[in-house]
Structure 1
Amino acid sequence: MRDAPPVLETERLRLRPLSPDDAEALHPMLADAELMTWWSSGPHASLEETRDYLRPVPEWRHWAITRRGDDSALGWVAAGAKRSGVIEVGYILGRVHWGQGIAREAVTRLLDHLFFEEGQRRVIADTDPENRASRALLESLGFTLEGILRAEWETHIGVRDTALYGLLRDEWAARSTRR
């Protein structure tokens, strides 16, 4: 089994390894039908479904997003290896926490970790082309839309396209305050 991801911190947030023990805090988010519209799976019907969903998978590392001084998970960020030097990122945040800059702060810290601490050369992200909030976050962080993959995902809302975004280490370094 892969080592647990390291704890990462920002001024307001603490990103720690996600655990099935976070199910109670995250179930309301994962049961929210509107929030889950753009997720690859539908809303969760039970706490046990959420607990099972949060079990570690070998290909991905997940960090619970928490506030410093409060260990309750607000959402998570994740990183999955695609090939040597290339990582895919993902994120989800409970709706009650939207509009506070939390997702941006958490993803920024994750990108710093991936590029500057791990030395990755490229980070990618895919999102539904209709998920305006996710696309706006990626674009504000400097990701470039690299293409639309047609009929890429079969999800609970049907077959969906993917907007594929990419960010290179040098591009991030030019924008980042941390080098």
Structure 2
Amino acid sequence: MKLRPVAEPDLVLFQLLRTDPDFWGLSWPGFADPGEPARRLAKDGFFSDGNSWLVAEHDAEAVALLNWRTASFGVPRLSWEIGIVVVPERRGQGIGWRAQAMLCDYLFTREPIQRIQAGTRVENIPEQKSLVKAGFHLEGRIRAAEFSDGEWRDGLLYSRLRTDPSPEIP
């Protein structure tokens, strides 16, 4: 598996993020402009100071979309928050933890950041396991962290520090 920049063939996946709740999975934020990904690719290639994306690719197939953005905790530009969406038919195959570990290694190599964090829903057990395998540590429960499906839901916050060991990625 490798990480690479977003390319034109990937736009269909970004359009699904905006139009298909099953593609997104838990925490789907609702419908959004399906034309925005093409405009974003043309504008900045999905790289900006506060919100960037890469694609995880396995055997020339896009298997996950990875995002990093300014963290809600910590000093801006000294910490990032990451997110991932694994293509539905590739979930449960170990792609998520490997891709997140690779993204952390990339970010720690690229910038003098100290902290990378990730949040997930309390009921998202597969993502919790994935984050731990990717070298993250549970920091705690964030009450009423997200409004979804008509109610406020708790989340869990995980972090990986520069000084934490990187997991071995097969």
Under a length normalisation based on structure 2, what TM-score does the superposition of the two structures give?
0.75
Q: Give the C-alpha shift of residue 123 in structure 1.
A: 0.8
Q: Which residue of 2 aligns with 1:66?
A: 57
Change (3 A) 1:151 1:25: closer
**Secondary structure of the structure 2 residue equivalent to 1:138:** helix
State the one-letter code of the partner of 2:79: V
Q: Which residue of 2 aligns with 1:52?
A: 36
> Of the candidates 108, 113, 125, which is equivalent to residue 118 of structure 2?
125
Q: Give the C-alpha shift of residue 148 in structure 1.
A: 1.1
State the one-letter code of the partner of 1:164: L
The C-alpha deviation readout for 1:42-61, integer Å capped at 9, x for no partner, is 3x58xxx4442573474211
> Of the candidates 23, 45, 49, which is equivalent to residue 11 of structure 2?
23
> Of the candidates 70, 84, 89, which is equivalent to residue 81 of structure 1?
70
State the one-letter code of the partner of 1:77: L
Distance 2:158 2:86 in 1: 19
Q: Could you tell me which runs of 5 or more consecutive residues in structure 2 were left unpaired when the two chains were aligned.
A: 41-45
RMSD: 2.8
Whether contact under 8 Å (1:26, 1:74) holds in the other structure is no
**Secondary structure of the structure 2 residue equivalent to 1:172:** coil
Whether contact under 8 Å (2:54, 2:67) holds in the other structure is yes
Distance 2:36 2:144 in 1: 28
Change (3 A) 1:156 1:22: farther
Q: Give the C-alpha shift of residue 165 in structure 1.
A: 0.8
Distance 1:157 1:148 in 2: 20
Whether contact under 8 Å (2:15, 2:37) holds in the other structure is no
Count of residue correspondences: 158
**Secondary structure of the structure 2 residue equivalent to 1:170:** coil
Q: Could you tell me which runs of 5 or more consecutive residues in structure 1 were left unpaired when the two chains were aligned.
A: 1-12
Q: Give the C-alpha shift of residue 133 in structure 1.
A: 1.0
Under a length normalisation based on structure 1, what TM-score does the superposition of the two structures give?
0.72
User: Within the alignment, does 1:33 sit opposite 2:17 as a pair?
Assistant: no
Q: Give the C-alpha shift of residue 119 in structure 1.
A: 3.3
Q: Which residue of 2 aligns with 1:144?
A: 137
Q: Which residue of 1 aligns with 2:148?
A: 155
Distance 2:77 2:54 in 1: 21
**Secondary structure of the structure 2 residue equivalent to 1:171:** coil
**Secondary structure of the structure 2 residue equivalent to 1:41:** coil
Whether contact under 8 Å (1:152, 1:162) holds in the other structure is yes
**Secondary structure of the structure 2 residue equivalent to 1:66:** strand
